[in-house]
Amino acid sequence: METAEIARRFLAYFETNGHTVVPSASLIAEDPTLLLVNAGMVPFKPYFLGQRTPPYARATSAQKCVRTKDIDEVGRTARHASFFQMLGNFSFGDYFKEGAIPLAWDLLTRPVADGGFGFDAERLWVTVFHDDDEAETLWRERVGVPAERIQRRGMVDNFWSMGVPGPCGPCSEIYFDRGAAYGREGGPEADENRYLEVWNLVFMQFERGPGPGKDDYPILGELPSKNIDTGMGLERMAALLQGVDNIYETDTLGRILNRAADLTGVRYGGDSRSDVGLRVVADHMRTATMLVADGVRPGNEKRGYVLRRILRRSIRNLRLLSGTDAHYLHDLAETAIDAMAGQYPGLRTDADRIHNVIDAEERNFADTLRSGTALFNRAAERTKAAGSAEFSGADAFQLHDTYGFPIDLTLEMAGEQGLSVDEDTFRRLMQEQKDTAKRDARAKKLGNADISTYARLLDDSGATRFLGYTDHEGDARVLGLIVDGEAVPAARAGDKVEVVLDSTPFYAESGGQLADQGTISVDGRGVVDVDDVQKPIGGLFVHRGTVRSGEIVVDDQVHAAIDTDRRSSVSRSHSATHLIHSALRNALGPATGQAGSENQPGRLRFDFTANRALDGAELAAVEEEVNTVLSGDIQVRDFQTSLDEALAMGALAMFGEKYGDRVRVVEMSDYSRELCGGTHVAATGQLGVVKLLGESSVGSGVRRVEAAVGIDAFRRLSRESLLVSQLAEQLRTPREDLPQRVEGIVTRLRAAEKEIERLRAAQVLQAAAGLAAGAREHGAALVVAHRAPDGTTGDDLRKLALDVRGRLGEDRAVAVAVASVPKDRPVVVVAVNKAAQQAGLKAGELVGVAARALGGGGGGKPDVAQGGGTDAGAVDDALRAVERRVAEAR
């Protein structure tokens, strides 16, 4: 039975039993406590907690999940995977144990011809929580499972939670006995390799607090109602029903694994080490494909880092398997798309964008390996020169933060050079970075309040009605006030307050458009200056600002008014963004997609997927096309329709955004048609003019254009025209000849700089003979310690040191140390000959002595090394430190 058929059959069974089929949510979790959806119940968490009223009493889904906690185990075991699909049925205060247990047993044991999975009831075992007498009784008396095939287990095994504060409860698991060939008898307690878990029925009735592990956390109390949450791993079920030993041999993962084997020329099953590598590639390429499809892009933090890490682990394993640096990801992504399209048809229509993202990351990693490896090698040489066997945690973090090196790659490379890595420091720096980013993001989205505060307001009062498409001001009622994270009955002058209204003309920041600003006034009693509006949870507008005067009280009737000039300016920027998007797609092809935007008053930035930079001519053509379209004064129209109809008419959707059944389409004739909730001009002529300010790279496969719009664009053009006129006057050149004139000046200037550099280097080297003649004996070696004139570069110092060393020959041990302050930061170079090395003098060690005196560090080869520091006043001390160290050598 194919994987897609297993999912279809599961959903169909529960649909006939009164459950609403809910499509899989995006892997990008709405829950701010989670990076990615990691369990089938995550989209339903607010219903379990009572934060929102569920629109159905029973539901069933096949939910995409990503879990990276055990990523290092992927490929090493038969069951670990970073991406998996969880089949589940859910009850929200409807049925409980008495309903879930018989339904699960019936579906598992029902014949295949009747829509079931056809399991032999005699080979199924059950576990229950150690004090759950009710569940055991139901299994025995209602279903008929013999008591000897029911085992009681503790909290670690049979009590479920998401691993973070939230809903939890005891569970009952169903296991399949694979037979004596897979292990010893005795049920799941004896051998979970032979007795494989196929389904977990969670009786969700409690809420847990924070704490580590699976059993070290407090139970805060009971949930508002008793619920059911079940989870059946689709991949594990496929392995059982397809008669294979592990998930990597199923119809989906097996296709990707076999393709990886073909590409690399490695036979699966021939060697345990290469088998692990092939399984890692198969798992990671499927995960990467699904993440990119849901709008995740490679990056150096959060979910972007998860994607980058698994792609780079795939590349690393493919190189080890094949022994080449050939590019395989495009082919493997195509195989992953084909393997999963039976369940997710949108993968095929989105294939070009998926390939663009993954291909760009593969090319980028090739550059990363070159530049990052050079940085690693320098740091490793420094480590060895200092006599240490531990690679710096700070250097490991820099490799991650600057070059995107996964820590496991650094660990592997360090191990190849006989070094360990200071992982504690690395983890600390990583955590500091994550904590800062998390605080910033949470402060932006949630302010100081817990999400439950907003959820209670939404549940008690309903969603905020947005009036801003047609009205710039309006009367409203105050539903709630929040000060310092707590709901309050009133706020007074000077208070920083969050105001929730039943209706509002204020646009809340979303879709790249900045929030409106304005005032909320209580007639004759108080005024709140609003400087930001956010939607911390769907449907709830939170107005943030300061009480300017008087007070504001819950249930007050207020008048809300936006800054109309600011709104108009932001709307012009947003409409310009749509035009730029279409022009870029016309220039670069339909695979070019939006990757982010920000619409400010009079200015915008637009990020888009692209494999290369736009040259000046292409950028000018895009700008001209946009201004040609807007000069036609096309009417801007918006309307509501179904998501399917909008996509069918060619409306562009923002990848990673979540859309409901009804969507808003904004169109500008046939030139631009997008799903968008933002505000726009009535006609393109209102934009005036759009001026592109530049194009740049902001990440792997992502480019950015910035633009000024309207009066801001006019002012920019006016300033540029004035500057060109002034330049033409100073150079006594017609405006049209300025490029050639400036190019000529720059060419002559560069030639002069090179000549000055040549003369200065020659002057430095002229001192070599005198320095060699003045070499002094220190112990068993001849030493030259010289401070070159300030401004001498590190390259010139190296040439001078090598020249002096060469003049002193190889008959005696020679050590040459030269230093300078080229740009307010001292540099020192040390060169020693072979005789000195044989006497125990190493350039790397000597430069380390000097660099420490300068307040810095350095390293290099045994014969020549370079270092530096921050204390420009310690150059002479550094040179004397080298002399003392040489004198100590024997």
Binding residues: 574, 578, 676, 680
Q: Two tokens at 376?
A: 């690693």
CA atoms of 283 and 336, how far apart (whole Å)? 10
CA atoms of 199 and 194, how far apart (whole Å)? 15
CA atoms of 691 and 604, how far apart (whole Å)? 10
Residue 523 DSSP symbol:
T
CA atoms of 877 and 551, how far apart (whole Å)? 67
Q: What is the CA radius of gyration of the chain?
A: 34
Structural contact between residues 150 and 139, judged by C-beta atoms closer than 8 angstroms: yes
366: three-class secondary structure by DSSP: helix
Q: Two tokens at 769?
A: 């003979």
φ, ψ dihedrals at 483, nearest 5°: -130, 125
Structural contact between residues 306 and 66, judged by C-beta atoms closer than 8 angstroms: yes
Q: List the one residue out of 793, 790, 802 whose CA is nearest residue 758.
A: 793
Angle at the Cα of 381 (from 375 to 387), degrees rounded to 5?
Answer: 140
Reported for 875-880, long-range contacts at CB under 8 A and 24+ positions apart, including other chains, are 875/787, 875/819, 875/820, 875/821, 875/826, 875/828, 876/787, 877/853, 878/819, 878/826, 878/828, 878/849, 878/850, 878/851, 878/853, 878/854, 879/785, 879/786, 879/787, 879/817, 879/819, 879/828, 879/850, 880/785
CA 665 to chain centre: 29
* Cβ count within 10 A of residue 278: 26
Helix (H) or strand (E) run with residue 156 in it: helix 155-158
Edge-to-edge strand list for the sheet holding 603-609: 594-600, 603-609, 702-709, 690-699
* Beta-carbon contacts of residue 448 (< 8 Å; ≥ 6 apart): 484, 485
Residues in the chain: 890
* Beta-carbon contacts of residue 144 (< 8 Å; ≥ 6 apart): none
Q: Is 341 exposed, middle or buried (0-12, 13-18, 19+ CB in 10 A)?
A: middle
Angle at the Cα of 608 (from 604 to 612), degrees rounded to 5?
Answer: 120
Structural contact between residues 665 and 672, judged by C-beta atoms closer than 8 angstroms: no
Q: Strands 662-668, 636-642: parallel, antiparallel or unpaired by DSSP?
A: antiparallel
| Max Cα distance, the chain (Å) | 103
CA 130 to chain centre: 41
* Cβ count within 10 A of residue 74: 23
CA atoms of 542 and 531, how far apart (whole Å)? 11
* Residues annotated in a binding site for Zn(2+): 574, 578, 676, 680
Q: Is 365 exposed, middle or buried (0-12, 13-18, 19+ CB in 10 A)?
A: buried
φ, ψ dihedrals at 265, nearest 5°: 75, 25
**DSSP-assigned beta bridge partners for residue 504:** 466
Q: To the nearest 10°, the Cα dihedral for 33, 34, 37, 43? A: 10
* Beta-carbon contacts of residue 334 (< 8 Å; ≥ 6 apart): 351, 355
Q: List the one residue out of 753, 759, 814, 826 whose CA is nearest residue 788.
A: 826
CA atoms of 680 and 635, how far apart (whole Å)? 11
